[in-house]
Amino acid sequence: MKTKSGLENEYGQSVSLKSVHLEGKLEGLLLTMLVKQRYLNDSEETIEACYTFPAGWGANLMGFSVELNGKRMQAVALAKKKAEKKYEEAIDSGDTPVMLEKSPLGLYTANLGNLKPGEEAVITIEYAQLLRFEKGRVRITVPTVIGERYGDSIADGHIAPHQTVDTDLLAEYPFTATLDILGQMAHGSIACPSHSVDTEQIEGGTRLRLAKGGMMDRDFIVTIEDVKGESYVSASEDDGAFAVVASFCPKLQEKEPSPFGLKILVDCSGSMQGDSIEQAQEAMHELILRLSERDMVSYSKFGSTVVHTSNQLEKCTPRYIKNVLAKAVHETAADLGGTELNQALSSTFKISFAKAYREGCDILLITDGDVWEIEEVVKQAKISNHRIFAIGVGSAPAESLLKDLAEQTGGACELVTPSESIAEAVLRMTQRIRSARTSSIAIEWGGEVLWQSKLPKQVFSDETIHVHARVKDKPTATPTLKWTVEGVPSQDAATSIDWHTTGALPRMVAGAEISSMSDEKAAEELALKYQLASKYTNLILIHVREEEDKSLGLPKLQKIKKMSAAGWGGLGTVQQPRVMYSISACRVLRTGTDGVAFSASASPAVFRTNRTAAASNVDALASGGMDDYEIPAFLRKQPDSSNSKPAFDDDSFTPEQLLEKFNDMCLITTMFSDITWELTESVSDGFVWKVLCDIAEGKDKIELHWACLIRWLANEVPGIVSLTRHSQRIINAQVASIDAATIQEIEAKFVNAFPGITKSSWGQTSAAEKRSLLSRFKKLMTGG
């Protein structure tokens, strides 16, 4: 017997992700990063590993390759549906497909199919990201973990079931990292507030290396201070045209700081417990020190509900600060339940402020940003006539949400880990908020522009803005950024053009264009042309095995659960080691007002039954009439309870609940007979059983008809939960032995048996027949 090593998940599987290694290089403002994920199947079963992970905000994925059994393969981009079809075909044929998917939220999912026992694979992902000068500093953020997010990841986050992100409090994924900082950046003051690092001088710069390695429970952060902001222009030939990235770092004329018209909104949800809420309070204390009587502010906090200290902005008199604002900050705690950010912003937008009608208003948002409902939040913010200045706190704040909120509204975003100075972040943010508003922002390219990315709504002094473009003719002069402040025009330009020949620049410009396109067909064509992972395309490769080496049967699905973000929800602090304990298969929730709540179990209730006995019970159900059925567990007498439901309760196990249970069971086993027996133990509607068994007409066909019932429910019942990719795969394997006409014939019987079926009801079945069934079951239960 093979001995398992390392972490096991709640299903007893040895987790296949063993480690991650990062190799980065910073030249100018261009960061390129190689991420190497090492997988080892040290179980006794063939598996399919699915791992969802974050990438830097605005990053472009440039390459995806796999090394398996000594063979290295490079992926290609295909249209999403075509790639998914090829992936499934490779699974069925016993080969090993590897596919990378991009979600709308800046997340990626690596799918590694048919990894056989004892096999090792290394997935290498390359991405490029443009960084920014921000008031004399550059901050590198390499996300390694996705914070636990509030809401429904499928309905709100628009990700597929196999891409969902769950947390294992016992998970530990080690990672190592090296980062080479080259050129002028190497002369700045370099620090790594997130990890302990060793530094060494290399040719052309400085190399950082994690001193003792790390764990994937916090972002990898490197800051470079005391660097002078510069403007750059990079260009490259691009299929008869020219791709250009213009990076401007304008210097605005100094003016007297403007007074605040500021609405402060602080996240007090359960996820903010510990480090994050302490950061929020410290930020507020720093802000109070910078207020004057010319300023007007309001203070609000939110969780499941939003609480305002007033319904209008108040003058920052000493009395107001002492009696209202300071008191409210002192009483701020992470005790308001879930993170209903959209509701909180909508309510805060309505706080009265007369000047807002003329020049808009500002919101200072302090949060970890851990919500799935990103698109609706950004949509509402864009039309609010408010600039949002966001300070993201914690060890893994949701960068994609907070940066998008800031960008789309003309505000700014600062991410601050517990190991960084939030006082300095507040100082930079107040400088931005008080700075003069810019208008008439435009760029002169000096030639015909084929496409250009959207310009920002606001220009801040000593801060980089990147503009991507494709121009018809070769640029001979640098483009010029122009803007106006209070009617006075200004401009900024780089001194020269840096020409690239590697092909990376055109792909980065194409990536920016794809993200801005509404024409899905055109976006897909562009992604295929430049071989990019996108909303419309996946990257895929297939390792074709020799016939004698092909995998047999379906792989067991293994969703790689992430580590809990350090200090999240009050679970320890970033500065101290985590306390390791197990809450078996528990899911961390941000609900309730008593802090972080834990549900009883994230996994389905599984009652293991001896297979021989289970098979005989199923046979008995299929072969006899209703009077011959063994009484199922759900009809046996239950303990007396004043709150218990009757043993026979129509629709107490709905069609949707059946599919949800099936999806959960498919995570545990690929044995369809085991799955159907567990479903048999759960169903509590005798009429459903009668229909299923009568249609099957024999013990040899009961599992086939189970598969047809599940398939019919998933395809025909409006609004019902979808089968997961893995569940669909198991159903397809069951119905492969019969033709389409037979399936249609069986499904027609279900249509006749369940008229008016919905996701929450089995339909308009005969009440008289149900009463008859109830009477007969009662006789069986009482021996009458």
Answer yes or no: do 176 and 245 share one domain.
no
Task: Round the CA-based radius of gyration of the chain to a whole number and report it.
Answer: 29
Query: Which of 521, 540, 559 is where one domain is finished?
Result: 559
Answer yes or no: do 171 and 217 share one domain.
yes
Two structure tokens written together for 542: 């297939």
CB 222 within 8 A of CB 179: yes
Using the 8-state DSSP alphabet, how is residue 535 labeled? Answer: S
Query: Which of 490, 507, 529 is where one domain is finished?
Result: 529
Q: How many whole angstroms separate alpha carbon 134 and alpha carbon 431? A: 12
Residue 565 domain flag: no
Residue 214 domain flag: yes
- pLDDT, position 767: 46
Answer yes or no: do 270 and 246 share one domain.
no
Its pTM surpasses 0.75: yes
CA atoms within 13 A on the CB side of 193: 19
Two structure tokens written together for 642: 């004043």
Q: How many whole angstroms separate alpha carbon 181 and alpha carbon 24? A: 8
Residue 54 domain flag: yes
CATH code for the domain in which residue 425 is found: 3.40.50.410
Q: Residue 237 carries which side chain, given as an amino acid letter?
A: E
Residue 6 domain flag: no
Cβ atoms within 10 Å of 761's Cβ, excluding its own: 16
pLDDT tens digits, one per residue of 527-581: 999 999 999 999 999 999 999 999 999 999 999 999 988 877 655 555 544 443 3
Answer yes or no: do 538 and 664 share one domain.
no
- pLDDT, position 624: 39
Answer yes or no: do 273 and 381 share one domain.
yes
Q: How many whole angstroms separate alpha carbon 668 and alpha carbon 231? A: 55
Answer yes or no: do 219 and 287 share one domain.
no
- pLDDT, position 210: 94
Cβ atoms within 10 Å of 236's Cβ, excluding its own: 20
Answer yes or no: do 309 and 200 share one domain.
no
CB 335 within 8 A of CB 593: yes
Residue 783: left if φ>0, alpha if ψ -120 to 50, beta else—which one?
A: left
Two structure tokens written together for 246: 């213009």
Residue 592 domain flag: no
CB 741 within 8 A of CB 708: no
Answer yes or no: do 241 and 172 share one domain.
no
- pLDDT, position 685: 52
pLDDT tens digits, one per residue of 489-533: 999 999 999 999 888 999 999 999 999 999 999 999 999 999 999
| Pairing between β-strand 137-142 and β-strand 220-225 as defined by DSSP bridges | antiparallel
| Pairing between β-strand 17-27 and β-strand 174-182 as defined by DSSP bridges | parallel
Answer yes or no: do 763 and 620 share one domain.
yes
- pLDDT, position 578: 41
| Pairing between β-strand 220-225 and β-strand 76-79 as defined by DSSP bridges | unpaired
Residue 595: left if φ>0, alpha if ψ -120 to 50, beta else—which one?
A: left
- pLDDT, position 512: 96
Q: How many whole angstroms separate alpha carbon 157 and alpha carbon 164? A: 9
Q: Which residues contact 768 (CB under 8 A, 6 or more apart)?
A: none
What is the extent of the structural domain holding 340? 261-432
- CA of residue 779 relative to chain centroid, distance: 53
Answer yes or no: do 278 and 303 share one domain.
yes
- pLDDT, position 770: 54
The strand pairing partners of 106, in sequence order, are none
- pLDDT, position 668: 84
CATH code for the domain in which residue 163 is found: 2.60.40
| Pairing between β-strand 306-308 and β-strand 296-302 as defined by DSSP bridges | antiparallel
Answer yes or no: do 365 and 489 share one domain.
no
CA atoms within 13 A on the CB side of 92: 14
Spell out a b/e string for 679-693, using b for 16 or more CB atoms within 10 Å of the CB, else e: bbbbbbbbbbbbbbb
Residue 127 domain flag: yes
Residue 531: which of 22, 60, 56 has the closest Cα?
A: 60
Answer yes or no: do 689 and 729 share one domain.
yes
- pLDDT, position 364: 97
The low-confidence residues of the chain, meaning pLDDT below 50, are 1-6, 357, 576-650, 684, 766-768, 777
Q: How many whole angstroms separate alpha carbon 272 and alpha carbon 333? A: 8
CB 244 within 8 A of CB 470: yes
Q: Both ends of the chain: CA-CA distance in Å?
A: 51
- pLDDT, position 378: 84
- Helices 374-382/399-409 angle, 10° precision: 20
- pLDDT, position 161: 86
Residue 271: which of 153, 156, 170, 368 has the closest Cα?
A: 368
Residue 72 domain flag: yes
What is the largest distance, in Å, between two alpha-carbon atoms of the chain? 97
Residue 719 domain flag: yes
* Number of domains present in the structure of the chain: 4
Helix (H/G/I), strand (E/B), else coil: 588? strand
- pLDDT, position 779: 55
Q: Which residues contact 767 (CB under 8 A, 6 or more apart)?
A: none
